[in-house]
Structure 1
Amino acid sequence: MYGGYILLAVVQIAIERGWHFLPQSDYAAMMVGVAGEWFLFTWHFDRGPLEIMLHECAKLILQAKFLSHLLELFRRADPLAAVFRGYCFLLQATWFFQTGWIVLPPWQTTWESENHLHVVLVTVAFVLHLVLDAAFVFALNIVVARVQQRRYERLKFHVDGSPTIVTERASKKSKPRGMSYYQKLRKRNIAEKMALLASLGVSTDIKTLHEQVSKKRHLKR
């Protein structure tokens, strides 16, 4: 099970050192590790219903992890894919902790493998992990969005997936009243576009731009 993750570590270290690999080799190595772990959890024989339920839940998480890596591989510019991958890792971590708590309980109370009630409790615990981990991810997203909003920071994702942080810190005196955060961003984007047009030698006068656009439309007709 750990061989795939060791392969991932070797590939990532080699990429950081400048060795030549095929594009997205780190994602491929990670998917190999997840697939190997899923295969080992699949072939567990001579287990009771409780252990089978624990392994089935772990298999569902591993399938979601594989899907998240595949999704991020083809949608590098989508931050939602990265958030989903992080959620899958968090879910696996909390569920492994829960599994260890059930298999090796810290107190004298033990879980009976053949007890139907205990199997149902494991199912309920897995659903709680799904919901609580998702709530934690959403709450963390809200906190990050608030921090970004207060600091006037915006995260741009390019086509190749490389993020670029554009930061603008405005003093309290320069903040116009009655404008929302998104209105300020729109105003700043317009100013950046006008500056780019001016650097290219294009007139930034609104009336002149309107005449040029009307002229181009007339020529197309």
Structure 2
Amino acid sequence: MGSFKGHALPGSFFLLAGVWWTVKHSLCFSSRRTKSLRTSSRAAQRRLEVIEGSAVLLCSVVGMLLEQFSAQGPALQLFDSSQQRWTSLMNWQHSTMYLFFSLWAAVSLVVHSSEAAPLALDRLMLAAAFFNEGFLFLYHLHGRAPLDVHLHHLLLFCVFGLALLCLLEVFQRGNLVLELLRCALTLLQGSWFWQIGFVLYSPHGQVWDQSDHNNMMFVTMCFSWHLAVAMVIVSGIYAAVTCVVRSRLRRIPPMEMGLLKPREREPESEDEVL
């Protein structure tokens, strides 16, 4: 990850995850309220979760392989006995980050494709994956330049915030506010990975003064801008999905709407909230 591409890759993963989660949670929430779309059914939501878990598992494995077998990767060699030193520990830390997200994806597949595990286990594992990411980054910065450290410390606010939100979702599953806030912070993390790449490993050859306090003030302000943009994007996607759902409802014949009304008054079961 010590390159522009190394930061752009996980950044792209998190950006895609943030957009996907926003669309999924907005659609599921709107569907649960109307009880009229097929995606509100338990089976359809499970299919979405299985697709998501499969995609995350694939991306995590690809990330681990790239970290291990890139040009400067350790190729699964942790310790060089000939020189008596550790080999590419930065790549190993990044591989460990991807490993935990692959474990979450595997747990999610088990949870949503069978009855072998409790439903809340996937959120608990996601919280562990984000916590592990933050834990690794926290001890990833020893001896680095001040601006480099500051950029990653800002990232830690986002990562540990995501871990806390996922832990809260273990007990408050289906809470739209928590879900959309998780989406916003995921988008923030993705865009901030890209920002770190542009600052530390600019593809245009620009060199930032790593010890200039003004640069630190700017990137702090820039972090706030990233957060604002992430919240606007999440709000826009939620509004767009809600409008689409409502427009589809208007096309339902009155006879079918009458048949749907009794179902709307039924209490929502926990199994429907995936």
TM-score range, shorter chain: 0.5 to 0.7
Q: State TM-score, norm by structure 2.
A: 0.54
1:1-221 matches, cutoff 5 A = 1-18=97-114, 20-43=116-139, 44-152=141-249, 169-170=252-253, 192-193=261-262
Paired residue type of 2:101: Y
- Structure 2 CA distance for aligned equivalents of residues 2 and 8 of structure 1: 10
Offset at residue 5 of structure 1 (A): 1.1
- Structure 2 CA distance for aligned equivalents of residues 19 and 142 of structure 1: 34
Offset at residue 19 of structure 1 (A): 6.4
1:137-158 deviations in Å (ceiling 9; x for gaps): 11222212222222227xxxxx
Paired residue type of 1:26: D
Offset at residue 17 of structure 1 (A): 4.5
Higher relative contact order (CA 8 A, sep 6+): 2
Tell me what 1:177 maps to.
none
1:152 is paired with a residue of what secondary structure? helix
Paired residue type of 2:126: M
* Structure 1 vs Structure 2 CA RMSD: 2.5
Tell me what 2:68 maps to.
none
Contact 2:185/2:227 (<8 A) preserved: no
Structure 1 residues 142, 22: closer, same or farther in 2, change over 3 A?
closer
- Structure 1 CA distance for aligned equivalents of residues 188 and 151 of structure 2: 13
- Structure 2 CA distance for aligned equivalents of residues 150 and 30 of structure 1: 34
- Structure 2 CA distance for aligned equivalents of residues 144 and 13 of structure 1: 26
Paired residue type of 1:9: A
1:126 is paired with a residue of what secondary structure? helix
- Structure 2 CA distance for aligned equivalents of residues 91 and 64 of structure 1: 11
Structure 1 residues 131, 17: closer, same or farther in 2, change over 3 A?
closer
Q: State TM-score, norm by structure 1.
A: 0.66
Contact 2:200/2:208 (<8 A) preserved: yes
> In the comparison of the two structures, how many residue pairs are matched?
165
Paired residue type of 2:231: A
Offset at residue 9 of structure 1 (A): 2.1
Structure 1 stretches of 4+ moved >4 Å: none
Higher percent of residues as helix: 2
Structure 1 residues 19, 142: closer, same or farther in 2, change over 3 A?
closer
Structure 1 residues 123, 11: closer, same or farther in 2, change over 3 A?
same
Paired residue type of 1:83: L
Percent sequence identity is: 25
Q: Which consecutive unaligned segments of at least 5 residues does structure 1 have?
A: 154-167, 175-184, 197-221
Paired residue type of 1:104: Y
